[in-house]
Amino acid sequence: MKIDRIELREIRMELKNSFETSFGVTTERRMVLVSVYSEGLFGIGEVACGETPGYNHETTDTAWSILEDVIVPRVLGKSFEHPSDLEPVLHPIRGNHFTKAGLEMAVWDLAAKAANMPLWKYLGGVQTELPVGISVGIKKSPEALAEFVIEQEALGYKRIKLKIGPGRDVAFVTAARAALKPTTKLTSDANSAYTLADLEVLKALDGIGMQYMEQPLEYDDLVDHATLQKQIKTPICLDEPIHSVGDVRKAKELGSGSVINLKLGRVGGHLESQRIAKYCLENGIDLWAGGMLESGVGRAHNVAMQTQAGFTLASDTAPSSRYWSEDIIEPEIVMVNGITHPLEGIGLGVNLKNDLIHTFTARVATFK
């Protein structure tokens, strides 16, 4: 596959409902869609990092700049036998994993189309019944949260994850736990809002009865998480500090946690995700796919990834309708009784709603 054209397109999509985490409130998403063209075929990926450096160092604007100035010149006009051949080209660029993944995902879609296969099968996926969890933003009060989670439980979600932060933690999680059926899996995600000085709060959370506790401590930490895990029973799930299969191995050796939230972008794309899924399967580490409030393009890539053996827990691949009035893909991602299925079309398996995409476009650049 010779890459003979690359298009970068920034789209802006307003969320149906604002989403609050410990680092801020999101009302509008800005993503960069990356399209690669080769011999009459095209593939598409999405850079799903934040608009601000709140989740990690990357932003929509740094992604655009790194793509335009560094990545596109290295990829345009080059030929690749397989998407894994991109690794020697992208690996020397330090960090910027979400940005590199946008391009990498597009090449996987292209390669699956060239092989005339659905992407999920091309990736080696084997699972077709994919359990879906929901990520719930911070609400105004424990009562408002309890009311909201009851509605979500009724929709069939297989796991309910609560965003928490200091002062909006124990009472909120306790209220949600009391409101839900005892069999409904409940988890929390602090997005790094605590330190070991908050041990009392973390121990109180430990007593509520959660499936796991996601990323309570610093975004780049593995050591303190290992200290904490020795003092609480609830398994710790790591998100922000996991950038590679090497990080998963280090977390395992340190005892930092036994659950991994895998974000396709955070680890640089499908190739590293495959390695992580394989490592987790072989080492008894629970794994699920996280989300970044993606458009349907990123969401469809997440669903394809999640079909691999190794994904053992419900993933944040909620249906398009949870976030968007209208998604940019058809068919949209749907969920029935808490289950979604891989898309069976060739490649990513979706058609793009180009009129809608044009409406959402803030800037576009084409390189030939």
Binding site for Mg ion (CB under 5 A): 189, 239
Q: Of 28, 8, 43, nearest to 352 (Cα)?
A: 43
Cβ proximity to Mg ion: between 54 and 209 the closer is: 54
Q: Is 351 helix (H, G, I), strand (E, B) or coil?
A: strand
CB of 191 to Mg ion, least distance (A): 6
Residues 239, 215 contacting (CB under 8 angstroms):
yes
User: CA–CA distance from 201 to each of 173, 192, 206 (Å)?
Assistant: 12, 14, 9
Cβ proximity to Mg ion: between 187 and 320 the closer is: 187
Cβ proximity to Mg ion: between 106 and 236 the closer is: 236
Which residue's C-beta sits nearest to Mg ion?
Answer: 239
Cβ proximity to Mg ion: between 41 and 138 the closer is: 138
Question: What are the residues whose beta carbons fall under 8 Å from the beta carbon of 163, sequence distance 6 or more?
Answer: 20, 21, 22, 135, 136, 137, 138, 188, 189, 190, 191
How many helices (H) and strands (E) in the chain? 14, 15
CB of 10 to Mg ion, least distance (A): 24
Report the alpha-carbon distance of residue 275 to residue 273 in Å, rounded: 5
Q: Is 149 helix (H, G, I), strand (E, B) or coil?
A: helix
Cβ proximity to Mg ion: between 37 and 212 the closer is: 212
CB of 161 to Mg ion, least distance (A): 8
Q: Which residues are catalytic?
A: 163, 263
Q: Of 211, 198, 216, 113, nearest to 159 (Cα)?
A: 211
CB of 172 to Mg ion, least distance (A): 16
CB of 23 to Mg ion, least distance (A): 11
H/E stretch holding 44 reads strand 41-47
- The 3-state DSSP composition of the chain as helix, strand, coil percent (nearest 5) reads 35, 25, 40
Report the alpha-carbon distance of residue 120 to residue 244 in Å, rounded: 21
Which neighbouring-strand residues pair with 81? none
CB of 158 to Mg ion, least distance (A): 17
Cβ proximity to Mg ion: between 20 and 189 the closer is: 189
